[in-house]
Amino acid sequence: MSAALTGLRPEAAHRPRTRLRAVPTWLLIAPALLYMGVVFLLPLANTAWVSFSDPMPGLHNYIEVLTTPAYLRIYRNTTLMALLVTGICIVMAYPLALYIARAGGAVGAVLLAATGLSFWISFLVRTYAWTVILGSRGPVSQVARWMGYDPPPVLLFTSAASIIGMTHILLPFMVLSIYVVLARIDPVLLRAASGLGATRGQTFRQVVLPLSMPGIISGSLLVFVFCLGFYVTPALIGSPRDLMVASLIATQIEDLLAFGTASAMAMLLLGATLLMLAVYDRALGLANLMK
């Protein structure tokens, strides 16, 4: 954006800005605020209200959720699963993002497009594809058989399948977040580092990695928060034992009509997410992401 603007003649870049200044800022963001208010804040407020009032006023929904060992275990499992997937995504996405940023040009564009391409396919379809790939007669099992593992290892309906499926769906978010930051690193800094006698490893550790931290952090936040709310993938290809909070909430509503309990569970999940963001902010500073 800034690069595009500097390319313009100064007066051309200037004119629209003066015209826009006549409109107060709040009016410009009003449509977005109104939209968020109606489709997000109101339902959220309603959920909060239901969690304290259904079927009767009080804290009983929260007490029920927080004192049921099975529910706490599901919260813990969900968090662990989300952390694991986030970690795997970082490890897998970083080299790819680095490669794309360095390759640039046509190779970079093709790889970037390939990464983004999977956003075009419904994630239900992507999840379903894994049932075929990991299935007992799918390609993975056939390769295992060919290599002498008979019967081949069971993959579908295991925790591993869940992790593979979730990683596959969330990886592009991590790649793009890291890539955007890496691509902005001034190549002059790298030349300066090597000019000052740094090895390639030192340049990476002391220059590239610290500068790309905002990308890793924003990617991790995205992936982690998405993971906390994952529902379809673990339910369709995961082990029956790794139930996620989202599935638990669905059961409360669909089978038990326990709108109060479900709302309390949702509010607790939201609370846990906000808490996580607060910890992040303390440790690393969310304001850094805006840079």
Which residues in this chain contact other proteins in the complex, by CB under 8 A? 68-70, 73-74, 77, 131, 135-137, 154, 156-157, 235-236, 240-243, 248, 251, 253-257, 259
Rank residues 93 and 246 by Cβ distance to other proteins and give the closer one.
246
Closest distance of CB 106 from other proteins, Å? 34
Rank residues 159 and 273 by Cβ distance to other proteins and give the closer one.
159
Closest distance of CB 138 from other proteins, Å? 9
Burial class for 99, CB neighbours closer than 10 Å (0-12, 13-18, 19+): middle
Burial class for 248, CB neighbours closer than 10 Å (0-12, 13-18, 19+): buried
Given a contact cutoff of 8 angstroms between Cβ atoms, the answer to whether 216 and 289 are in contact is: no
**In which element (H, E) is residue 82 found?**
helix 69-103
Rank residues 63 and 192 by Cβ distance to other proteins and give the closer one.
63
First-last CA distance in the chain: 14
The encoded tokens of residue 257 equal 């009509």
Closest distance of CB 52 from other proteins, Å? 17
Closest distance of CB 152 from other proteins, Å? 13
Rank residues 50 and 176 by Cβ distance to other proteins and give the closer one.
50
Residue for token pair 């109101």:
42
Q: How far apart are CA 122 and CA 276, in angstroms?
A: 29
Closest distance of CB 28 from other proteins, Å? 31
Closest distance of CB 255 from other proteins, Å? 5
- Residue 242 neighbours by CB under 8 Å, 6+ apart: 77, 81, 159, 162, 234
Rank residues 136 and 142 by Cβ distance to other proteins and give the closer one.
136
Q: How far apart are CA 285 and CA 221, in angstroms?
A: 12
Rank residues 75 and 94 by Cβ distance to other proteins and give the closer one.
75
Residue for token pair 């009003």:
30
Q: What one-letter code names the amino acid at 124?
A: L
